[in-house]
Structure 1
Amino acid sequence: MNFDGEDLSRKPLADRLAPGETHVFRDCDLTEADLWGAPLGGARFESCVLEQTDFRKADLDGAVFTGGGGMRARFNDADLIDVSFTDVDLSSAQFGGALLTDASFTGCRMIGAALTGSRGTGFTVTGCNLTLANLGGCSFRREHIEGVRFDDADLAGCDFTQATLTNCRLIGARLFKTVFAQADLRGADLGELDDTRLRALAGAVITQAQATAILAARGLTVL
Structure 2
Amino acid sequence: MSPIIEDELFKKENFSRSPLPIGNYESCSFEQCDFSNGNLSGIVFNECEFIDCNLSNATLKNTTLNDVTFSGCKLLGLNFKSVSTFLMRFNFTNCNLQMAQFDFLKLKQTLFINCELQQATFNETDLSQAVFDECNLLETQFFNSNLEGAHFQTAYNFIIDPELNKMKGAKFSSSDLEGLLQKYKLQID
Q: TM-score, with normalisation over the residues of structure 1?
A: 0.73
Q: Distance in 2 between matches of 1:190 and 1:49?
A: 34
Query: How many Å separate the matches in 2 of 1:53 and 1:178?
Result: 38
- Opposite residue 116 of structure 1, the aligned amino acid is K
Deviations 1:71-93 (A, max 9, x none): 11221121101111000011111
Amino acid at match of 1:124: N
Measure, in 1, the Cα distance between the counterparts of 2:109 and 2:61.
23
Distance 1:136 1:214 in 2: 21
Structure 1, unpaired ranges of 5+: 1-36
Corresponding residue for residue 218 of structure 1:
184
Structure of higher CA gyration radius: 1
Cα distance in 1, alignment partners of residues 10 and 137 from structure 2: 31
- Equivalent-residue separation in structure 1 for 2:89 and 2:54 (angstroms): 21
8 Å CA contact 2:4, 2:26 repeated in 1: no
8 A Cα contact 1:157 1:176, kept in partner: yes
Query: Aligned pairs, how many?
Result: 186
Instruction: Report % sequence identity.
Output: 17
CA-CA distance at 1:185 after TM superposition: 0.6
Counterparts in 2 of 1:202 and 1:44: CA distance versus 1, 3 Å: same
Structure-2 change in CA distance of 1:210 and 1:198 (3 Å): farther
- Note the aligned Cα RMSD (angstroms): 2.5
Q: Is the 8 A contact 2:157 2:179 kept in 1?
A: no
What one-letter code is carried by the residue in structure 2 that aligns with 1:86?
Answer: I
Q: 2:47 aligns with which of 59, 65, 82?
A: 82
Q: Distance in 2 between matches of 1:158 and 1:215?
A: 21
- Structure number with higher strand proportion: 2
Residue 30 of structure 2 is aligned to residue 65 of structure 1: yes
Aligned partner of residue 46 in structure 2, secondary structure: coil
SS of equivalent to 1:48: coil
For 1:135 and 1:215, the matched residues in 2 are separated by 24
Aligned twin of 2:14: 49
Question: What does residue 169 of structure 1 align with?
Answer: 136
Q: Residues of 1 paired with 2:52 and 2:127: CA distance?
A: 24
- In structure 2, the CA distance between the partners of 1:216 and 1:61, relative to structure 1 (3 Å rule), is closer
Deviation at 1:201, TM superposition (A): 6.0
Please name the residue that 1:17 is paired with: none
Alignment CA distance shift 1:183-1:89 (3 Å) = same
